[in-house]
Amino acid sequence: MTIKKHSATHLLVRRAYGKVARTSSSCCPGSSCCGGPASKKGAEGEMGLSCGDPVAFSKLKKGMTVVDLGSGAGKDVFLAAEKVGAKGLSIGVDMTPEMLKLAAKNTEKFTRRTGLKNVEFRKGVIEKLPVKNSEADLIISNCVINLSPDKPAVFREAFRALKPGGAIVVSDIVLNRALPPALKKHVGLYAGCVAGALVREAYLCAIKAAGFAGLKLLSDRLYSASGTCSDPITEKAGKALDGAASSITVWAKKYNTSGGKK
């Protein structure tokens, strides 16, 4: 599928998250991903619309370059920036202008607090990353890839953007069983990170098909869409969704193929 054909889904998601960004004082102004315990505000007060904590699982070292796919208001970008330090770089990629605006505001607060100027936010879609080949040591993402109309393309792009020996740490929603067709087409549930999610096996297969190996499941817990937002539609769908989705964090590596497994 071409990026052009993805534009309807991108538009739907951009509208939903543009609204979230404009009403950013609360975590759940509409149907959006905000998955419980992991969805807390960061040090800059920026909202987290997350379903995991990829930075906590990342072995980030000083000087590394990290890229966050679908960075939102920037929570994980700032957490990673403190870990990679002044000689490192923490890049966030997002397609929603309102989110990028929030992230820019939060960057000022971050720099005032830490003195660090090692964050960069780039506008773009994660199916065609605005990142050079082999630019990143680590790629993270938090509750975003389920929103993509082409998940395999996202993993292929992550693979391209990583240095050989680099890794991904991705927190996301996966389905434990296929959803009823009516729920699959539900716009609110799509923006709410459930209707667009892949069945777990398909998700892990897409990671492997992109070239990654050594997959490890770092966390795995049931995701309760009804319990996360007070959205009437999500709440109504809650019963049909019971046990249907999980929030997982996966690690996988881009092995250095020239010199075998390193």
Ligand X SMILES: C[S@@+](CC[C@H](N)C(=O)[O-])C[C@H]1O[C@@H](n2cnc3c(N)ncnc32)[C@H](O)[C@@H]1O
Q: For the sheet containing 136-142, what is the strand order?
A: 119-123, 89-94, 65-69, 136-142, 162-175, 245-253, 213-223
Looking only at residues 52 through 111 of this chain, which bind ligand X when binding is defined by CB under 6 A? Answer: 70-72, 75-76, 94-96, 99
- The CA angle 181-244-186, to the nearest 5 degrees, is 35
Contacts of 239 (CB under 8 A, 6+ apart): 226
Structure tokens at 236: 């109504």
Contacts of 202 (CB under 8 A, 6+ apart): none
Tell the smallest beta-carbon distance from residue 72 to ligand X (Å). Answer: 3
Tell the smallest beta-carbon distance from residue 194 to ligand X (Å). Answer: 11
Tell the smallest beta-carbon distance from residue 163 to ligand X (Å). Answer: 22
- Residues 71, 76, 78, 84: is their CA dihedral positive or negative? negative
Tell the smallest beta-carbon distance from residue 82 to ligand X (Å). Answer: 16
Give 9 or 226: the residue with its C-beta nearer to ligand X.
9
Looking only at residues 121 through 140 of this chain, which bind ligand X when binding is defined by CB under 6 A? Answer: 125-127
Give 5 or 262: the residue with its C-beta nearer to ligand X.
5
Binding positions for ligand X, rule: CB under 6 A: 10, 13, 17, 32-33, 48-50, 70-72, 75-76, 94-96, 99, 125-127, 142-144, 147-148
